[in-house]
Amino acid sequence: MPYVNIRVAGELTREQKQEMSKGVTEVIAKAANKPPEAILIFIDEVSRENIAKSGKLLDEPQ
């Protein structure tokens, strides 16, 4: 059973998550020759204050 973990900075709308899940499922099903029902997708929404780039938290002004 393939599973995919997607981590994003901030929040996505329900519609964005649905569209992303549909597209990822289609690609994995085709590439791995697996039925869509066997594919699990986990979407982790991470607060921007918990992610840093170039030594600065993403919620800080760049």
Please confirm, yes or no, whether 61 is among the known catalytic residues. no
| 1, 7, 28, 36, 56 from 10: Cα distances, Å | 28, 9, 25, 27, 16
Give 35's contacts (C-beta < 8 A, 6+ positions apart). Answer: 29
**Residue from 2, 35, 36, 61 carrying the catalytic annotation:** 2
> Which positions are annotated as active-site residues?
2
